[in-house]
Amino acid sequence: MKLLDTSCLICIFSEIDFPSVLHKWIGEGYKICIPFEVFSELQDNYKTKSKVENEIKSDKIKVLNKIEEQKIEILKNRFPILGKGELSVIVIAKELEDSKKKYYAVLDDKKARETAKKLQINFTGSYGLIKALLDKKLINQELFEQLVKKMKESNFRMIFKGNENEHRN
């Protein structure tokens, strides 16, 4: 399971406009899921929202049930800088981790990634998601470089150093 945050959806559907990133993971047998709270955050971003809704309607992205507010609040008290979407991804990832289910949280925000690391949650970012496709030879070097160039030229902020972008399966 790939558990995506809002920033990843915006990157894939608006900034680089390459939903095939997710389609390729689906082709590899992965489920693409977003928390209800992440879907709610998209309401203010019509461009991304409409594209994500199409993916939901075609059963490529699954919206998970709303998380109990108390679970989010407990984590929010520990990590007040994180948004509700990031917190919901982390809450679900922690539950999946505790139940030994295979998943990857896709978080681009630096503070969210630091939190995931502290909580020993498997995570990557949008860049790592794409880099893993290259490593698996599901995209070629030329396409990878085009996508990274689009990311760098966009408003999308990301980290391009060391292990920050590694994606393991």
**pLDDT 10s digits, 5-30:** 999 999 999 999 999 999 999 999 99
**Residues in a beta bridge with 106:** 4, 124
On the question of pLDDT at 154 being above 70, the answer is yes
CATH code for the domain of 142: 3.40.50.1010
If we measure between CA atoms, which residue out of 120, 118, 104 comes closest to residue 166? 104
**What whole-number percentage of the chain has pLDDT above 90?**
87
Q: What domain range is 153 assigned to?
A: 2-165
On the question of pLDDT at 160 being above 70, the answer is no
Tokens for 92, please give them: 């679900």
Instruction: Give just the sign of the alpha carbon dihedral 167, 107, 62, 120.
Output: positive
If we measure between CA atoms, which residue out of 93, 55, 56 comes closest to residue 71? 93
Tokens for 82, please give them: 């994180």
pLDDT in tens, 74-115: 999 999 999 999 999 999 999 999 999 999 999 999 999 999
Pairing mode, if any, of strands 61-63 and 32-34?
A: parallel
pLDDT of residue 44: 87
Total count of domains within the chain:
1
